[in-house]
Structure 1
Amino acid sequence: MRTTILTLIAFMLVASPAFAHFGMVIPDSNVATQKTRSSNLELSFSHPFEMVGMTLEKPKQFFAVVNGKKTDLLPTLSESKVMNEKAWKTTFRFKRPGVYQFAMEPTPYWEPEEDCFIIHYTKTYVAAFGSEEDWDAPAGLPTEIIPLTRPYGLYAGSSFTGQVLRNGNPVPNAEVEYEFYNKEGFTAPTEHHITMVTKADSNGVFTITCPKAGWWGFAALTTADYTITAPSGKEKPVELGAVTWIKVEDFKK
């Protein structure tokens, strides 16, 4: 009997779904106006639908890209908490019109349960002062999602189309996980509704519909062509994530 119970527990552990990890760069708004000339940004690492945080050590890079110019924001970060775990925050003041990309390269995260390191190159967009220029420009990350749909000014129910790149080249048939940042505490009908999955086409292009107002994260995952030494001293594979966050809004009267 004891052997049967232990076997059942082991089976359940193996069969249980592993919730997706997401790097997160979330501003308090994805549009800056003359009245709201600054934005507070939070950087974290989490399971966003389950609202379970993980430790985010200080990133290796954090910067803004606008009109082809890159600005280092790493010195502006201060430590904070998101979902009760170590995270980072900053405030950015917009001085000129433009579509600002805020991008993070994290310190590699060792995940013993998956026996690999995780590096999620994560970005989001803020449109300042009505600008419409270069919203589809790359941020220059090793892997990233290039928006083919303007990544702001979207309603709930809108579709978002993106292209997965790695080293500037399309990633054919890339698997894209996506989740809702579940601040309101919705319950998923099944475990499959927590992290949803789609596949890109042969050109790395995918389309996802966002049914609920709020922040949505898309993560295209590939395996690096290098390894990192784990705490055990052994070389381990590296999961690379091209992560993009967008916000969709409800209609208002």
Structure 2
Amino acid sequence: MRLFRLSLTLAVLALSASPALAHFGMIIPSTDVVTDKSKAKVELTVSFSHPMEGKGMDMAKPKAFGVQDGNQKTDLLATLKPTKVMDHDAWSGEFTFKKPGVGTFYLVPEPYFEPAEDKFIEHLTKVVVPAFGEEEGWDAPVGLSAEIVPLTRPFGNYVGNVFTGKVLVDGKPAADVAVEVEYYNKEKAFEAPNEYMTAQVVKTDANGVFNCAVPFAGWWGFAALTDAPETVQKDGAAKKIERGAVLWTKFVEPKRKKK
């Protein structure tokens, strides 16, 4: 019996000592920039996943889904249709650019309960797509309770560029906040050498600002993690809510001229 208890204790300690898988709300557009009028329709895949490991989670229909272009917001919730991402429930929507602009697509999900962490997770997610040469307004906040405001233009970036963002919580800069950085390993082209390499982590400074450079091309997510002031009742107990501010952006390799 003592041997069994010792083995069980060691197993629990090993499990608790392992880094937790990073959760990410995701909005991945069919293109990172719109340059051709014949391809003005952008399809958007909305999911909740562990992007590097390629492990999905079921996502309920979001509370809100829309796009901000300048001072105008368009509700896109009605465009969402059920789909599958990583073999789990997800959503797909669409938006057609009819004029030059910069569309900031945003998502407010239903909180997801994570039994392993005994808390709810709510990731307020954004991605920015420019159209037809316009690039004004990419740094404008949407007004979410938590969001990353880009200080580096969040499109048209090469691999190796340093990306800088500011984390706002209730409209104010959030200091000393952990920001997880993870690659969307859609094609499963990469494998992390160990669990610590799955997600990179940086922290915001006193002004809520963080910096990061990514090592290879593709879609990268930045998730700033804070605790929401409210709780959610589940099974007669008040559960905490992890409120994540998530921003996705694509980094590209330069094209070489053909000789």
- The separation in 2 between residues aligned to 1:153 and 1:70, in whole angstroms, is 23
State, as a whole percentage, how many aligned pairs show the same letter: 52
SS in 1 for 2:78: helix
- The separation in 2 between residues aligned to 1:107 and 1:3, in whole angstroms, is 39
The TM-score normalised by the length of structure 2 is 0.95
1:144 aligns with 2:147: yes
Matches within 5 A, 1:209-248: 209-230=213-234, 232-248=235-251
The C-alpha deviation readout for 1:4-25, integer Å capped at 9, x for no partner, is 3222212211112211100000
Q: C-alpha displacement at 1:45, in angstroms?
A: 0.1
Give the structure 2 partner of residue 103 of structure 1: 106
SS in 1 for 2:7: helix
SS in 1 for 2:113: strand
Give the structure 1 partner of residue 167 of structure 2: 164
- The residue type paired with residue 184 of structure 1 is E
1:196 aligns with 2:165: no
Give the structure 2 partner of residue 23 of structure 1: 25
**Is there any run of 5+ residues in structure 1 with no aligned partner, and where?**
none
- The separation in 1 between residues aligned to 2:77 and 2:205, in whole angstroms, is 35
**Is there any run of 5+ residues in structure 2 with no aligned partner, and where?**
none
Q: C-alpha displacement at 1:35, in angstroms?
A: 3.6
1:183 aligns with 2:175: no
Q: C-alpha displacement at 1:144, in angstroms?
A: 0.3
Candidates 109, 112, 117, aligned match of 2:115? 112
Q: C-alpha displacement at 1:207, in angstroms?
A: 0.4
- How large is the RMSD of aligned CA atoms in angstroms? 1.0
Q: Contact conserved, 1:158 with 1:211, CA < 8 A, in 2?
A: no
Q: In the comparison of the two structures, how many residue pairs are matched?
A: 252
- The residue type paired with residue 123 of structure 1 is K
Q: Contact conserved, 1:98 with 1:132, CA < 8 A, in 2?
A: yes
- The separation in 2 between residues aligned to 1:234 and 1:122, in whole angstroms, is 27
Give the structure 1 partner of residue 9 of structure 2: 7
Candidates 124, 134, 143, aligned match of 1:131? 134
Give the structure 1 partner of residue 47 of structure 2: 44
SS in 2 for 1:160: strand
Give the structure 2 partner of residue 83 of structure 1: 86
- The separation in 2 between residues aligned to 1:42 and 1:138, in whole angstroms, is 22
